[in-house]
Amino acid sequence: MKAIVYRRYGGPEVLGMEDVPEPKLGPESVLIDVRAVSVNPVDWQTASGDLDGRFDVHFPVIPGWDVAGVVAEVGPTVTGFAVGDEVIGYVREDSIGRGTYAERVAAPVRTIARKPVNLSWEQAATVPIAGLTAYQSLVHALRVEAGDTVLVQAAAGGVGSFAVRIAVALGARVIGTASARNHDYLRSLGAEPVTYGPGLAERVRPLAPAGVTAVMDMYGGEELVSSLGLLREDARGRVVSLTNDGVLEHGGTFVFARPSTEDLDELRRMIESGLAVPEITTVLDLSEAAEAFRLSRTGHVRGKIVLRVSAG
């Protein structure tokens, strides 16, 4: 089968399309005929060696953790899925080597769930990592509810777009950060936009004079520090960071999204009831993965980039 592969750490130039062996199907896994995968910053961060300290990496590596596709075969102990099921998955295992940028993927059942029926394959591929990260941050870590005012950093990105919509669906008011060109997009998601960067606190305070009640941080630098100062006195510690585990020293939570069929099922129910997925700004063919990495590395993609693998 065809897959995108890299044999050493580096930038987009290390990616190539190759013929690779078919994945082996474990007893508790399903084989997925891949229709689409979405591109996440972690894909190129891993390829550049940034996660070398956190995961064992076995070269050659097929990048990618998100997948949407059709079950082609099931392992002998699998009961909840059958051949022909349309599924999505966040196929992260404990080491890195066999990812999802491929025609077929073997996915442990704990990493997959049914695809929302109202989404295209490209839209479905946007859900697993970005949706789970937003959902697990807002629901499990921050326990956001009606009456909250949530500050969502990087609100126009993949995770941010989901986070704004999920927080709004939970009944919260959302202040989201983005550059000016994305402010109308943030309004369309349901957020009140502010520009990120120096002076952020001064721009947020007029919108929330008493302070915000929860913060979702994605970049972990100066903006995490200024966000902490924006938390209302009785909301200290209601902060999640996706990139800086120093947040633990402030009573907050470091989130690294975890595969969960249960949480994907909950997202599916929300999406089938009307929760919209992020805008897809670019769809490329699998063979154009290097171009997708280049775009994602700019750090200014609105919504998501998706790679089309097969039309079925």
> Any contact of residue 130 with ligand NAP (CB under 6 A)?
yes
- Decide: 111 and 67 in contact? Cβ < 8 Å: no
> Any contact of residue 23 with ligand NAP (CB under 6 A)?
no
| Residue 143 C-beta: closest distance to ligand NAP, Å | 18
Q: Which is nearer to ligand NAP, 108 or 278 (CB)?
A: 278
Contact string 169-198 vs ligand NAP (x = CB under 6 A): --------xxx--x-------------x--
Q: Which is nearer to ligand NAP, 30 or 91 (CB)?
A: 91
Q: Which stretch binds ligand NAP (CB under 6 A): 52-60, 80-88, 284-292, 298-306?
A: 298-306
Q: Which is nearer to ligand NAP, 153 or 226 (CB)?
A: 153
The correct pick among 149, 153, 213, 244 for binding ligand NAP (CB under 6 A) is 153
Total residues in contact with ligand NAP, by rule CB under 6 A: 31
Which candidate, 265, 300, 303, 301, places its Cα nearest to that of 189? 303
Q: Which stretch binds ligand NAP (CB under 6 A): 8-16, 98-106, 151-159, 287-295?
A: 151-159
| Residue 38 C-beta: closest distance to ligand NAP, Å | 9
> Any contact of residue 259 with ligand NAP (CB under 6 A)?
no
> Any contact of residue 257 with ligand NAP (CB under 6 A)?
yes
> Any contact of residue 42 with ligand NAP (CB under 6 A)?
yes
Q: Which stretch binds ligand NAP (CB under 6 A): 16-24, 59-67, 108-116, 299-307?
A: 299-307
CA distance linking residue 178 with residue 194, whole number of Å? 6
| Residue 272 C-beta: closest distance to ligand NAP, Å | 23
> Any contact of residue 240 with ligand NAP (CB under 6 A)?
no
- Decide: 133 and 259 in contact? Cβ < 8 Å: no
| Residue 72 C-beta: closest distance to ligand NAP, Å | 28
The correct pick among 129, 144, 150, 270 for binding ligand NAP (CB under 6 A) is 129
| Residue 147 C-beta: closest distance to ligand NAP, Å | 25
> Any contact of residue 227 with ligand NAP (CB under 6 A)?
no
Q: CB atoms < 10 A from the CB of 185, how many?
A: 20
Contacts of residues 83-86 at CB distance under 8 Å and 24 or more positions apart, as own/partner, are 85/30, 85/114, 86/114, 86/115, 86/124
- Decide: 196 and 179 in contact? Cβ < 8 Å: yes
In terms of residues, how long is the chain? 312
Phi, psi values for residue 50, rounded to 5°: -65, -25
Burial of 296 by CB count in 10 Å (0-12 exposed, 13-18 middle, 19+ buried)?
buried
Residues of this chain that interact with ligand NAP (CB under 6 A) are 40-42, 129-130, 133, 153-154, 156-160, 177-179, 182, 196, 218-219, 223, 242-243, 255-257, 296, 299-302
